[in-house]
Structure 1
Amino acid sequence: MILTGLALGALLGFALQRGRFCVTGAFRDVWLARQSRWLTAFFVTIAVQAVGAFALDAAGVIELGGGAFPWLAAILGGLVFGFAIVYAGGCATGTYYRAGEGLIGSWIALGGYALAAAIMKHGPGAPVVEALRGVSAPVGTVHELLGVSPWILVALLVAGTAAAVWHHLRKDAARPKPVQLPARGTGLARILFERPWNAFATALVIGLLGIAAFPLSWATGRESGLGITTPSADIVAFLVTGDAELVDWGVMLVLGILLGSFIAAKGSGEFRVRVPDAQTVLRSTGGGLLMGVGAAIAGGCTIGNAMVGSATFTLQGWVSFAAMLLGTGIAVRFVFGARRAERTVAAPTPVGV
């Protein structure tokens, strides 16, 4: 049954690569370009999963629970993770699918991410994570806190997301249409590998895959949906200990993302081994390590927390989502602010000054 994780992960990796679905870019665009198109697409994945997850819960297929809310860990871990993804050049899923495209820098960031997550979850960092996550509030979901039906929140989320999508689609319709190059392929091959995938269509596919992840994962005893951090840490722990019990549905999922993104990149002609320069290696290494630390503390990355946790209206999901977005903004200020300063210093002095 855990092989369903590999199959679903391959589909997810394919969609991520073909749609260029990068949550880091979505967060960064908000601060750097004041654009919300990709953030809106990210909300589509959340809204779609929210409908599916609570429908599955109502049908008794899964059981969504609240639990405690580790507010301190959600804030601190989210800030660290959001800061780190800018330096790493991608969040967890973005790093996985770019590794499948042949980017050596992404492989470096991915290795640092998995290693740090394993240290924080299974190694000497575990007491730190436990202590931080021990600072908690008793109510774990937004609907429990407000005392309302979760379906009210689902309806508000769907309505707000639909309005935002409509806004962007109207802006798209008003723009001049780009010149279309002659098609090389035909039929399904052209749709899958040649034509660029629309952001919102990609988000819909990812959201539907997120819904399917719940029953498939629960059927194997892993009571969760999409998740990247714990499976990545478990891969490292398995390689160190040889404990086969660590290889579960989630591990198959992340391996599938690599496989699916590789197939998509090869089919579209986008696969190419690219070796980074020394500065990129340093940033990828440091960013990857910080990603693992932040995700372990927060209890998830942009998928497990910001997407799945928000879709099920956990307070951990929404608070860490906000903290990740803020952490990205802080990193953008450091990274791009420093680059602007360097360009100013390097610029020639105007005549007469």
Structure 2
Amino acid sequence: MAAKIVLGLLCGLALGFVLQRGRFCVVGAYRDVILVKDNRMFIAVLIAIAVQSIGVYALAGLGLIQLSEVPFTWLGATLGGFIFGLGIVLAGGCATGTWYRAGEGLLGSWIALFAYMLGTVATKWGVLKPASDALTGQKSEDVFIYTTLGISPWVLVALFAVLVGLIVWRHLRQPSFAVPTLKRRKTGLAHLLFEKRWHPFVTALIVGVIAIAAWPMSEATGRMFGLGITTPSGNLLRYITTGDIKFLDWAVFLVIGIALGSYVAAKGSGEFRWRLPDIKTIRNNFFGGLFMGFGASIAGGCTIGNGLVNTSLFTWQGWVATLFIMLGTWVATYFVIIRGKRKANSGAAPSQSVAV
């Protein structure tokens, strides 16, 4: 148990700190492509996938970790991914984004987080389990894309890394955007960690490295996987409601660590503040969280489990679910945000958040 607590919290603290300082949220990466025509965070996500892919297959090749096969439940991946994509826009953040924003004091994220846990528990082990079993019962024999193609995984790793490298190179050649910085109060390491804005690409590199380190840290406790958010979030609620210690694995302490790491980063940078949204936003946060829990459960993962980890393994489950998460995000962005702004501009009063 001590190893689970220490290793899980250490990984979570590092991840939460980096996510908060780099404002790294996958829903923003997908949403901003169509909302503000900004693809920097989307490219950053690709960087994190590429970095993790290289590291994980290197560790597996050296025999330091064992890769588990992820079944391709094609109906769950498509439908669940789409529903999860809708949910993250309503909730105002992806799975990790909700955890780290809760650490910043956003009460709406706490509401979304509770609903996310509730939806996960209901779908995986509760009243919605029959529906989940039906939707995830259809499985394909193919697990990895490279086995379907009959090639080495390193072919896809190399091709993807080169492609991402070219995308980054082309983006960096474009005129840079001015990134606002906080008022300088300190110098040296404190300024670098808490005041200077982190570039999305630098953040992505660090996230990728943490994602690689998560594998041996997790497997050292008997959990044969890397980063994961949905199941451990549900297990945390199960532990809280039952007191059964068997639900406390490495990943539960990982998600707790994400919130704690974000809190440390937000306090150090002066960005922590309790904020209460309006009633409409609270409603969206709650139902968005439920959609997230249900969708991620039947899709086999969230924007981390599928969108960062399973994609780096080049599993069919990861890439298909991620594509439908993106589709759901874009649909929700259009109907919830874009059309909402149009209505507001035509005379409807925009909603205001209340700080407490």
The TM-score range, normalised by the shorter chain, is over 0.9
Q: CA 1:344–1:5 in 2, change beyond 3 Å: closer, same or farther?
A: closer
Question: 2: distance between equivalents of 1:10 and 1:180?
Answer: 24
Aligned to 1:99: 102
Question: 1: distance between equivalents of 2:74 and 2:32?
Answer: 27
Aligned to 1:228: 229
8 Å Cα contact 1:306/1:318 also seen in 2? yes
For residues 193-243 of structure 1, what are the alpha-carbon distances to aligned partners after superposition, in whole Å with 9 as ceiling and x for unaligned?
A: 010111000000000000000001011011110000000000111112221
Give the letter aligned to residue 87 of structure 2. Answer: A
2:276 counterpart SS class? coil
TM-score (norm 2): 0.94
Alignment size in residue pairs: 345
8 Å Cα contact 2:92/2:98 also seen in 1? yes
Identity across matched positions, percent: 50
8 Å Cα contact 1:122/1:237 also seen in 2? no
Question: 2: distance between equivalents of 1:227 and 1:37?
Answer: 24
Aligned to 2:145: 142
Question: 2: distance between equivalents of 1:132 and 1:177?
Answer: 46
8 Å Cα contact 1:115/1:289 also seen in 2? yes
Q: CA 1:193–1:178 in 2, change beyond 3 Å: closer, same or farther?
A: closer
State the shift of 1:65 in Å.
3.9
Question: 1: distance between equivalents of 2:87 and 2:206?
Answer: 27
State the shift of 1:33 in Å.
2.5
Question: 2: distance between equivalents of 1:153 and 1:88?
Answer: 34
Alignment of 1:312-331 (within 5 A): 312-331=313-332
Q: Which has the larger radius of gyration?
A: 1
Question: 1: distance between equivalents of 2:213 and 2:11?
Answer: 8
TM-score (norm 1): 0.94
Aligned to 1:24: 27
In angstroms, what is the RMSD of aligned CA positions? 1.5
8 Å Cα contact 1:15/1:202 also seen in 2? yes
1:346 counterpart SS class? coil
State the shift of 1:178 in Å.
6.1
Aligned to 2:116: 113
For residues 309-351 of structure 1, what are the alpha-carbon distances to aligned partners after superposition, in whole Å with 9 as ceiling and x for unaligned?
A: 000111100000100000001101211343244146429xxxx
Choose the corresponding residue for 1:59, options 59, 62, 73: 62
Q: CA 1:179–1:65 in 2, change beyond 3 Å: closer, same or farther?
A: closer
Question: 2: distance between equivalents of 1:180 and 1:291?
Answer: 33
Question: 2: distance between equivalents of 1:306 and 1:10?
Answer: 21
Alignment of 1:143-292 (within 5 A): 143-171=146-174, 174-175=175-176, 183-292=184-293
State the shift of 1:267 in Å.
0.2
State the shift of 1:183 in Å.
2.7
Aligned to 2:93: 90
Question: 2: distance between equivalents of 1:232 and 1:216?
Answer: 18
Alignment of 1:124-143 (within 5 A): 124-143=127-146
Aligned to 1:11: 14
Structure 1 residue 307 and structure 2 residue 296: aligned? no
Question: 2: distance between equivalents of 1:227 and 1:127?
Answer: 23
State the shift of 1:148 in Å.
0.5
Give the letter aligned to residue 147 of structure 1. Answer: G
Aligned to 2:353: none
Question: 2: distance between equivalents of 1:296 and 1:175?
Answer: 39
State the shift of 1:254 in Å.
0.1
8 Å Cα contact 1:96/1:258 also seen in 2? yes
**Once superposed, which parts of structure 1, at least 4 consecutive aligned residues long, lie more than 4 Å away?**
176-182
Q: CA 1:311–1:178 in 2, change beyond 3 Å: closer, same or farther?
A: closer
In structure 2, the gaps of 5 or more residues are 349-356
Give the letter aligned to residue 4 of structure 1. Answer: L
